[in-house]
Amino acid sequence: MPENAPTILKDRQGGMETPRAPSATERMVKQRQRTAWQADCDSLLAAHPFTGALTRSLDPVPVIDSRLPTLMTDGHHLFANVHFIARLSAKMRRFLLAHAAYHCVGGHFLPTSKPDKHRWTLACEHTVNYLALLERIDIPAQAILYPAQAGKDIVSVYEWLAHHPCPSRDQPLDIHRPDLRLAGSRIAIIDPDFQPHTPDPTVARDWRDLAVTHACQSDMIDQEILTYLLAPVDR
């Protein structure tokens, strides 16, 4: 069975209600959003060549699917709910593109062995947003960034978060794989384009190699970015 197989719903009378697919009008909206995101990629590449080059390795896939209210990456695609991204400014869309590419470089689409999944999610958020900071990309006020953990590796951030007085107050801007609404949730629309790949450690290694290659080719890269990229990962 695919990782996100459709869930059959029960209607109010107890009968079976099958989720619908996006309508013809919704499919047109999706196509328009794909074009808009391509323009965002071009703009990011012009202003931030290192990050822009990374985003070129992500296939943007606009979706209309009840399981994905915002956006997420599986290391191959950037799945984005078109109703969510249509409300965003171009600056915010560019930030989220960079954010997703950095998640790929960090291999954050892979499962973690850490017991507290939410704390791990927050540590992932902090480290990718810190990369955005180093790349001088505008970061929205609601993005998670812990000044006391600037430059720290992800495991250090995860351990530091054990002392957070209320971690549930902090929430990511996007969907991280463990948070995806799977079987048991109410699903009204299933988009056949929303087919995340199974997490693959080889893909994570390829992303890191790609990032190091791009960083080495860039004469404007911050040395701290290279240090981050070359640090060992313990997830």
Q: Specify the stretch interacting with Zn ion by CB under 5 A; choose among 17-25, 62-70, 77-85, 170-178.
A: 170-178
123 vs 190, which CB is nearer to Zn ion? 123
Q: How many residues does the chain have?
A: 235
Q: 45 CB contacts (<8 Å, ≥6 apart)?
A: 52, 53, 55, 56
175 vs 229, which CB is nearer to Zn ion? 175
Sheet holding 59-63, edge to edge: 59-63, 77-81, 71-73
We find the least distance from the C-beta atom of residue 120 to Zn ion, in angstroms, to be: 12
Calculate the alpha carbon distances from 27 to 5, 82, 192 in Å.
Answer: 21, 10, 11
Position among 60, 106, 172, 196 found at the interface with Zn ion (CB under 5 A): 172
Calculate the alpha carbon distances from 54 to 123, 214, 224 in Å.
Answer: 21, 8, 17
96 vs 229, which CB is nearer to Zn ion? 96
Over the window 174 to 193, marking each residue x when it contacts Zn ion by CB under 5 A and - when it does not, the resulting string is x-------------------
135 vs 174, which CB is nearer to Zn ion? 174
User: Can residue 75 be called a binding residue for Zn ion (CB under 5 A)?
Assistant: no
H/E stretch holding 78: strand 77-81
We find the least distance from the C-beta atom of residue 70 to Zn ion, in angstroms, to be: 9
Show the tokens assigned to 101. 């590419």
State whether residue 225 is helix, strand or coil.
helix
> How many chain residues are in contact with Zn ion, going by CB under 5 A?
2
Q: Specify the stretch interacting with Zn ion by CB under 5 A; choose among 156-164, 169-177, 205-213, 225-233.
A: 169-177
Show the tokens assigned to 69. 């209210």
Q: 78 CB contacts (<8 Å, ≥6 apart)?
A: 37, 58, 59, 60, 61, 71, 72, 97, 100
Q: Which of residues 91-150 bind Zn ion (CB under 5 A)?
A: none
124 vs 190, which CB is nearer to Zn ion? 124
107 vs 172, which CB is nearer to Zn ion? 172
Q: Specify the stretch interacting with Zn ion by CB under 5 A; choose among 40-48, 84-92, 168-176, 206-214.
A: 168-176
41 vs 143, which CB is nearer to Zn ion? 143
We find the least distance from the C-beta atom of residue 173 to Zn ion, in angstroms, to be: 6
We find the least distance from the C-beta atom of residue 16 to Zn ion, in angstroms, to be: 35
* End-to-end Cα spacing for the chain: 27
CB 127 within 8 A of CB 154: yes
Footprint on this chain of Zn ion (rule: CB under 5 A): 172, 174
